[in-house]
A = this chain, B = another copy of it.
Amino acid sequence: MKKASPKKQPAKIPARTRALGDKYQRILDGAVAVFAEKGFHNSRVSDVAERAAVADGTIYLYFRNKEELLMTAINTAFDAFMSRARTELEAISSPPEKLRRLAQLHLQAFHDNRSLAVVFQMELRQSARFLAPFSHDHMVEYFGLVRAAIREGQSQGIFRAELREKIAANCFFGALDEMVTSWVLDETNYQLADVADAVTDILLNGFTKK
């Protein structure tokens, strides 16, 4: 972010012929890898270019600027996750089982792509505040899934009625998020998804009627 960002250029104009090459994807992957290693602000666009084996300028054929590179990477991953999660959860009717499955998916997704996990845990919050509410919309979607399951569980009499839906959802997400952060900061790379059940047990137990 070197200048006052004119911000309003028409749009990125990726190649028409894009399907032929995989540069777009290589750049995105390179960006995630580099940003995970050094952090967004400490990474140079030329680092990403090098990692993706393209020229510096090529990146600007696909992305308006460095910021959009980050946002696109995050958005793409988020979209993929949400679509997967939505589909899977639809097939489950029990609210507690929905939450359990969501926890597994959440942790598994990050375990499967550690660089992405690092970028999410380290850069997403900042982005949420400074790069506009792009990610916020996604968060709202995610929370929507959680809150729906909680509401359902309440109306089925499984979860306590006095539970405050929004707070409960925050606890659920916060707990998972913290598991990921703690895993990311830990070098050992243990099987993250293994803790999903333990976390879910605590939370569900907390939500459930005695």
Binding site for B on A (CB under 8 A): 1, 38-39, 41-42, 118, 121-123, 125-126, 128-130, 136, 163-164, 167-168, 170-171, 173-179, 181-182, 185, 195, 198-199, 201-207, 210
CB contacts (< 8 Å) of A173 on chain B: these are: 178
Residue of B nearest to A126 (CB): B122
| CB-contact partner of A171 in B126, B129, B199, under 8 A | B199
Q: Looking at chain A's contact residues, is the secondary structure mostly helix, strand, loop, or mixed?
A: helix
CB contacts (< 8 Å) of A39 on chain B: these are: 126, 129-130
CB contacts (< 8 Å) of A174 on chain B: these are: 171, 174-179, 181
Given contacts A129-B39, A164-B198, are A203 and B171 in contact (CB under 8 A)?
A: yes
Nearest chain B CB to A141 CB, angstrom units: 15
CB contacts (< 8 Å) of A167 on chain B: these are: 179, 195, 198-199, 202
How long is the Cα–Cα vector from A179 to B177 in the complex, in angstroms?
12
Given contacts A171-B175, A175-B171, are A129 and B122 in contact (CB under 8 A)?
A: yes
Given known contacts A170-B179, A202-B206, what 17 new A-B pairs fall within 8 Å (CB)? A1-B42, A39-B126, A39-B129, A41-B41, A121-B125, A125-B125, A128-B185, A163-B202, A164-B198, A167-B179, A170-B175, A171-B174, A171-B175, A174-B181, A177-B177, A206-B207, A210-B210
